[in-house]
Amino acid sequence: MTSSRAGTVRARRLAAVLGAAALVAVTAPAAQVSAAPRAAHRSHAVAATPYMGWNTYYGLGAPTEQQVESVARYLVKSGLSKAGYDIVWLDGGWQADTPRDASGRLVANPERFPSGIPALVDRLHRLGLRVGIYTDAGDYDGGKSCGLGSRGHYRQDARQFADWKVDAVKVDFLCGISEKLDPATAFGEFSAAVAATGRPMLLNLCNPLTDDWGVPHTPAQDAHNSYAFGPRLATSWRTGTDIAFGTPTAGEWADVLRNMDANAQHPEAQSPGHYGDPDYLIPMRTMPDGSYELSQEESTTQLVMWAEMASPLVIGSDPRTLTKPMLAALTNPEILAVDQDPLDIQGVRVATDATGDTYSKVLSGTGKRAVVLLNRSDTAQRRTVTFADTGLGGHVAVRDLRARADRGTHTGSYTVTVPAHGTAFLTLSGTDAAPGTPLGTTSADDPALVADGARLTAFTRGRDGSLRVRSGRDGSWRTGATGLGGPTQGRIKGAPAAYGSAGGRIDVFVRGTDDAAYRRTYDGHRWGRWQRLGGRLASAPSAVRRGSGGGTLFAAAPDGGVLSLGEDGTHSVGAPTGLTVTGRPAAAVDSAGRLHVAVRTNDDAVWERVRDASGTWSAWTSLGGTVGGAPALVATGDSVRLYARAADYTLWQRTYTATGGGAWSDWSKNTAWPSGALDGALGTAAGPGGEVLAVYRSVAGRVRETML
């Protein structure tokens, strides 16, 4: 967008939110960055899969209760609610011109909502629908920037919404922008207020600020970075700016692609109950001249891409105006089944060229993928999916989800003609091509591995949070696992770390539910008790053994840096200037005695800091990359191997050669690992012949062991 259009975006958006004619432009100096509250919004019970519904903003603007009820009845009559679109979400404009009464309680607009919100909620519930409502995280400024604001009233407003029996809350950030608020802090406080009500309510965080607004802001204020805090605070978080104007406007296809591309940047942030939100569906809104803002093909493409990315499906258009073919697409059970797949994995781009993209999404079951062939161009094109790009081999059965028809069994690839601005939406059923041997178990987080000659020991975390250990030899694993529980309430938090030493000893390290570090030791015969090592960890630990000098743990610290815990106490290793650490660090000691610590930072790059044999730390150095997971380090021979999962779920690596002063090779893709084979980070160990052994989580958390 141009800055002039950005100004129009703000004005039209505010008109709908305020329900008023006179507006004042938003200005926002850079926000101050601060840590978000640690309390998490508990939303799994109310959104085990992406939620669906209809929102008033793009279709009605500032609505009336009569309009809302008319659309609600149509959702039921048309079959949309039966298909899953069961939330009626009031956006801005429901509030009175003076949004609070003398006691500070929010008040509905008496002309547009004469019955009041509780009565409307009750009527909508009787239709079998859920109800959402809207507020802003900032202070109400008299209508200059937002129509209402909850700052200073978070607990009061959350309690009021709960008392009204509201099922979902959207928290905007318009007044938050003008006040220079840090979104992580403000949204974190509102999330805690919602959790305190005790009522399960979906929570959607809506910070729309990007460069498209033409407003100066810091990276912490940018919607593209909401992935860093959204998953722990809410059901969903906006991943970009508004997808459209409040009123239908020509040229919105480009903005659909823009929001899709923004949402594709951080698929790793998504998990069951927590979803990136690329904004609402805007199918076939009618413009003043009678033409459509998006064609049916473009509208269906948006639906398909949102389903492929496991995004919330909220219709923004007035559904009463949609054509029967468009309604059929919106209710197509095979398209919706991809969005609602219980694994909640976001589809990722696995191939791209000047014409379009191929996206692949891992589905429940064995050897199943949902694939989109996207044609960005203005003419029909032949598009091909290569099965190896999706992690499938053998004979692959293809089904066309849009046509709801089988397309035969193929090997190697499948080609189809895709319309301009259109998609082919397919399911593929074949053989998973993930490397290695299955251990016959699953893990809820990254596994850890210890190698002692041919004997291997793998540590996993069960779905109940307990630590489990399993042993194997030469690719053959025992069928049973030993439960080690956990140091606090029988559970651990995050992934385990472990190393071995002489005599068959193994030390395993975990983060307890109290955020302290703990150790448990196997002496070659039996496991001892849990020992509390202390510290305050903000991630799971990694562990490295330094010869006979004992071990050191590294973990993310609450301040966004790295802390180390060892026999000499707890120390700060810091973070690269201006950046914070995301996930757990990795550590390894090379053959020259240098200790390497690698981290993923909030710019999605890998950074390294090295302590030499004398104990002197280097400065932080960027190793580059654009990664979608924590790094793994392993020392073998005269080298250190670095592995990291990219944003498309493929595996990339670099190698450090310790001799001759030490130097890193360039990044290279490990072609044996197709997209979707690896979930999270590798658990690595050096093998007896200098090879790298690894355990990892593959599809649906199934653990496999392989050699790299």
Beta bridge partners of 206: 172
Pair 358, 366: CB distance under 8 Å = no
Catalytic residue, candidates 139, 172, 212, 389 = 172
Rounded to whole angstroms, the Cα distance separating 400 from 530 reads 53
Beta bridge partners of 632: 643
Beta bridge partners of 591: none
CA quadruple 518, 489, 562, 627: dihedral positive or negative? Answer: positive
Rounded to whole angstroms, the Cα distance separating 130 from 208 reads 25
CA quadruple 222, 224, 225, 231: dihedral positive or negative? Answer: positive
Q: Is 446 annotated as catalytic?
A: no
Instruction: Pick left, alpha or beta for residue 132 (phi over 0 → left; psi -120 to 50 → alpha; otherwise beta).
Output: beta
Q: Which residue has the tokens 């589905």?
A: 363
Pair 442, 680: CB distance under 8 Å = no
Pair 595, 589: CB distance under 8 Å = yes
Q: Is 339 annotated as catalytic?
A: no
Catalytic residue, candidates 242, 277, 445, 648 = 242
Secondary structure of the chain: what % helix, strand, coil (to 5)? 20, 35, 45
Q: Which residues contact 345 (CB under 8 A, 6 or more apart)?
A: 267, 270, 310, 361, 362, 363, 676
CA quadruple 294, 300, 303, 305: dihedral positive or negative? Answer: negative
Pair 507, 495: CB distance under 8 Å = no
SS3 9: helix
Rounded to whole angstroms, the Cα distance separating 488 from 64 reads 52
Rounded to whole angstroms, the Cα distance separating 157 from 189 reads 12
Give the active site residues. Answer: 172, 242
